[in-house]
Structure 1
Amino acid sequence: MDLLQLEISTSRLLLQPISMKYKEDIFSEFNQEITTYMYTKPPKYISETEDFIKDSLEEIKKCENLVLVILNKKSFKFLGCTGIHEINSNDPELGIWLKKSAHGKGYGLESIIALKTWAEENLDFQYLVYCADKANIPSRRIPEKLGGKIIREYKKTNLSGKVLNILEYVLPKAGD
């Protein structure tokens, strides 16, 4: 399967493999506010974003991780990124971030539903994982709306030095 050619479409969104075409959007939108509840920290220089994209493309080629941009289907405007980490494991992890102006419009849930459906149709796994900080209510709503159950809670210090209180959800497969 050539994941670099992947395209996942919903009624409003288009998910495509990350590319240098979106480096400016990612660099400017992946800021301190967006990363508040994430392990990673925002890049200081665009070269860091370029390195992230290069690394992500290598991981896609090796079928290790899948990193996709989220685009508005009509305008093709950049909305954020989503992906599946460790796609060949028994418990791949779904992740997402949206730029601030895309918050509150249901794009996160729509993206994760599309990604989950694709994973169930194309990957072999026991269950999907979705992690969110306990204080990040909008992010927690995504797995909860999908019937996710908390299987683990732990603390993790992110790269900016903030202690996160992570809730790890398991998402049921369709039909379970």
Structure 2
Amino acid sequence: MKDVVLSTDRLILRQMGREDVPLLQQIFADPVAMKYYPSTKDHQETLEWIEWTLRNYEECGVGLWIVENRINGEFLGQCGIVPQIVEGVREMEIGYLFARRVWGNGYATEAASACKHYGFEQMKLRKIVSLPDASNQPSARVAERIGMTLEKQIVKWNKDVLVYSVYADTEEVVER
């Protein structure tokens, strides 16, 4: 089993590996789950995504992690902290993407909240952002639920993106 990075009451967040292509394909091959991405991803594109994640682990010490059910090990999605350039500034983003079959169970909020605490407590970040598509209201609600505030709307990845942020010095414990 890959290294566990974080755990919550219901979830395990572990490092991603090349053998996780079939798991990630549960999301990446689903056009509904990928609605706010340019397109679905095939096997090769999923492998490239994993390679990008592995480079983030190497260069930043963090990246997207596989999220599994703590009790039965079921694959649920991915969530983690990744570097992004926002209007010329390098920011650390909490990103999340879950299998459609588990939407509505609070897993994204629980995982994102754990990542936020990790970013502030372990990485000593001063600011963390989330960058949902401007039309992706469920993703925006996750950012709000973990205590982020809408800062602005920008164009990134050739689309309108919301910039949510939270700062370490204004951090409050958000109840689930």
Fold match, TM over 0.5?
Answer: yes
CA shift digits 1:80-113 (9 cap, x unpaired)? 11121129x8631110000000100000100000
Give the equivalent residue in structure 1 for 2:79: 82
* 1:119 and 2:114 correspond: no
CA distance in 1, matches of 2:58, 2:35: 30
Q: CA 1:166–1:51 in structure 2 vs 1: closer, same or farther (change >3 Å)?
A: closer
Shift in Å, 1:154: 2.1
CA shift digits 1:42-96 (9 cap, x unpaired)? 213x122123213321321222651200101111111111121129x86311100
Is contact 1:64–1:85 with CA below 8 Å preserved after alignment? no
Shift in Å, 1:15: 0.2
Is contact 2:27–2:34 with CA below 8 Å preserved after alignment? no
TM-score of the pair, normalised by structure 1? 0.82
TM-score of the pair, normalised by structure 2? 0.82
* 1:23 and 2:21 correspond: yes
User: Which of these residues, 51, 60, 65, is aligned with residue 63 of structure 1?
Assistant: 60
Is contact 2:64–2:95 with CA below 8 Å preserved after alignment? no
User: Which of these residues, 165, 173, 176, is aligned with residue 160 of structure 2?
Assistant: 165
Gapped runs of 5+ residues in structure 2?
A: none
Is contact 1:29–1:99 with CA below 8 Å preserved after alignment? yes
Equivalent residues, number: 165
Is contact 1:16–1:69 with CA below 8 Å preserved after alignment? yes
Runs (4 or more) in structure 1 with deviation over 4 Å come to none
Structure 1 vs Structure 2: percent identity of aligned residues? 24
1:21 alignment partner, SS class = helix
Shift in Å, 1:156: 4.0
